[in-house]
Amino acid sequence: MAYLLGMVLFASAILISVSLHEAGHMLTAKAFGMKVTKYFVGFGPTLWSFKRGETEYGVKGIPLGGFCKIVGMTPQDDDVEPGDEHRAMWRYPVWKRTIVMSAGSITHFALALVAIWLAAMSMGLPNRDIPNPLPAYVKVVECVLPDGAQRACAPGDPVSPAKQAGLRDDDKILAVNGTPVADYDALVKAVRGLPAGQAATVRYERDGVTGEARLTPASVQRKPLDDPNAPARAVSVVGVVGPSLPPGVPLMVKYGPVDALPATAGYTKELAIGTYESMKRIPQKVPALWTAITGGERDVDTPISVVGATRLGGEAVEHDAWELFVSLFIGLNFFIGVFNLLPLLPLDGGHIAIAWFERVRSWLYARIGRPDPGRVDYLKLMPITYGVILIGGAFTLLTITADVVNPITLFSR
């Protein structure tokens, strides 16, 4: 029940975000005097509407977004009534059109920023002072599952070598068989390089005191560290997981209202970098999505659709992980805001790019004494627009299918 409630809450949050996106377009257009004839939440058949002034407001039957109709977005639009020619959007200065078309994305960014600021005060933001890479502080697991299954230990499962050797949670591993390990990644590589079945010496630090433990690694099937999509192979493990934070170092830090402002700025910067890097990797993740659909393992680093994000929102509520719920809301709003500004039709960024192209071209022609070439003919750009829609639609269908048949899960259910 909590899972379904979480899905409903997250889907509602997305719908509200998209509705506010369209409200941003509408309000800025009205502020400049442009004519807005419709503002609806949802698509499809109209369930309820009313008209105030020259704008019809309402709700439609398919709650998958929303739209507002601004008259005369392009010179080729035929929705301008006699007497409203001066109010057609394409006739307005380029800076006004830029504000109107970017208002949707700005709304998403504003939602993300407010959510980050509130989260900084209520639940905290990730500690930016955590060492990177993390030292080899570890958590000790009770057993080693030979098949690599993600489940709790059961009677009959072999006790982990680390547990048998007396290692404890928050021990810092210093060396394996005399070879120093600088961080947790180095520890994993060192352990996987040990011969299975042969005793090894692990030097560790606990409460400022150095000690040694003798253990015998177990052999299990695991994915290669450098290629998560490759078949599993036999490697050595000792039954520690991590990286664990150094003792006394908090994972999350709460801030006051004023201190939360620079913390929000820092988190937003990291979010922007992460979004950029994620978008760069999208093309190379398409084969992994297809693998997930055709029966392979789902890579947790593959893109997700709104369906996948909603399912994760449900998991977050089910496991009382509200930090994850808020993080998903923030990340999705930021991504939508950036994506909509890409200079491609029919996205908002495509209209902005054309408006500024027209402005720069007119300026250049004036400089060289040639007549203004006028407005861009959107009809000539329709093949490119259809191509973007086709590719975007195919990718959306691919991610939705993967999220239905082989979804990413962050908790054992």
Q: Is 151 part of any domain?
A: yes
Q: Is 152 part of any domain?
A: yes
The alpha carbon of 48 is separated from its chain's Cα centroid by a whole number of angstroms, namely 33
Q: Is 212 part of any domain?
A: yes
Of the candidates 60, 53, 59, 50, the residue with the CA atom closest to the CA atom of residue 30 = 53
Q: How far apart are CA 390 and CA 408, in angstroms?
A: 25
**In whole numbers, what is the pLDDT of the chain averaged over residues?**
88
Q: What is the pLDDT averaged over residues 255-272? A: 94
For residue 87, name the pLDDT band (cuts at 50, 70, 90): very high
pLDDT in tens, 181-208: 888 888 888 888 888 778 888 899 998 8
Q: What is residue 310's predicted lDDT score, i.e. its pLDDT? A: 93
Q: Is 262 part of any domain?
A: no
CATH code at 222?
A: 2.30.42.10
Q: Is 209 part of any domain?
A: yes
Q: How many other C-beta atoms are found inside a 10 Å radius of the C-beta of residue 6?
A: 24
The total of structural domains in the chain comes to 1
Catalytic residue chosen out of the listed positions 22, 54, 270, 277: 22
Q: Is 220 part of any domain?
A: yes
Q: What is residue 64's predicted lDDT score, i.e. its pLDDT? A: 80
Q: Which residue has the higher pLDDT, 107 or 321?
A: 107
315 part of the active site:
no
Q: How far apart are CA 355 and CA 86, in angstroms?
A: 17
SS3 5: helix
Q: What is the pLDDT averaged over residues 46-51? A: 93
Q: What is residue 147's predicted lDDT score, i.e. its pLDDT? A: 60
Q: How far apart are CA 73 and CA 345, in angstroms?
A: 13
Q: Judge whether residue 3 has pLDDT over 80.
A: yes
Q: Residue 143 is part of which domain span?
A: 139-241
CB 89 within 8 A of CB 73: yes
* Residues with Cβ within 8 Å of residue 317, at least 6 apart in sequence: 2, 3, 5, 6, 9, 10, 325
Q: Is 79 part of any domain?
A: no
Q: Is 12 part of any domain?
A: no
pLDDT in tens, 4-33: 899 999 999 999 999 999 999 999 999 999
Q: Judge whether residue 413 has pLDDT over 60.
A: no
